[in-house]
Amino acid sequence: MNNPFSLKGKNILVTGASSGIGKAIAITAAAMDAQLHITARNEQRLNETYNSLTGPGHTTHIADLNIDAETEALVTSVSKLDGVVLSSGIIKTLPFKFINEGELNAIMQTNFTSPVLLLSKLIKSKKLNSGCSIVFISSIGGNFVGAKGNAMYSASKGAINAIQKVLTLELAPQKIRVNNVAPGMVKTEMWENSTTFSAEQIEEDAKRYPLGYGETSDVANAVVYLLSDASKWVTGISLVLDGGFSVQ
């Protein structure tokens, strides 16, 4: 019986694959028989992800997407793609009145400008097959809810959602789909090791989520759906994953 959720025969690039959500996506996609190109800045952690992948044919690419030459090298080195997952990103909590140009530029560069320019280079280099699925990792922040101290991060994710709408229309003639996954709070190493909030604050915040905080596997499974042929008639959406938080 045909499995529409299988990724067998699909060649997929995952950025930010060395940790957190990106790592979970890579591992889950490999388990669904995809052939992966995984990229991140940290070679040791990226190799740890690589060693967790099942199946043959995967490749690693050390690249800082904020450096144009390294992005160009990545685009040159990957083969034609059936899927692109843009997962790399950073977060910085700062009250709005303390925002400064350097902090704002850093977040916008990593979360918005760099993935967008990478995608532009892939398109111009004709590295995306017809039927390719592009998946941005966005957030409920900036698109569905607001949170104090989260202005810069929310702005970067809101920008992703805005440009996605245009890409959806421009790439549809090539049967290329453009979607995003918008998670609420997900338990990652970065969050669990954060010194910004105390354990008590995190525990109290988790109570605001009807189903509690998410796991990285929850996001990875949603991304697999958007990469697979099961979603071949799905484009231009934000798939909200927040355990019921935003309906309150």
Would you say the C-alpha torsion 105, 106, 110, 111 has a positive or negative sign? Answer: negative
Show the beta-strand stretches assigned E in the chain: 11-15, 35-40, 59-62, 81-86, 128-137, 177-183, 186-187, 214-215, 238-241
Alpha-carbon distances of 233 from 81, 84, 154, 161, 236, rounded to whole Å: 19, 17, 28, 19, 10
Rounded Cα gap, residues 41 and 18, in angstroms = 8
Catalytic residue positions? Answer: 153
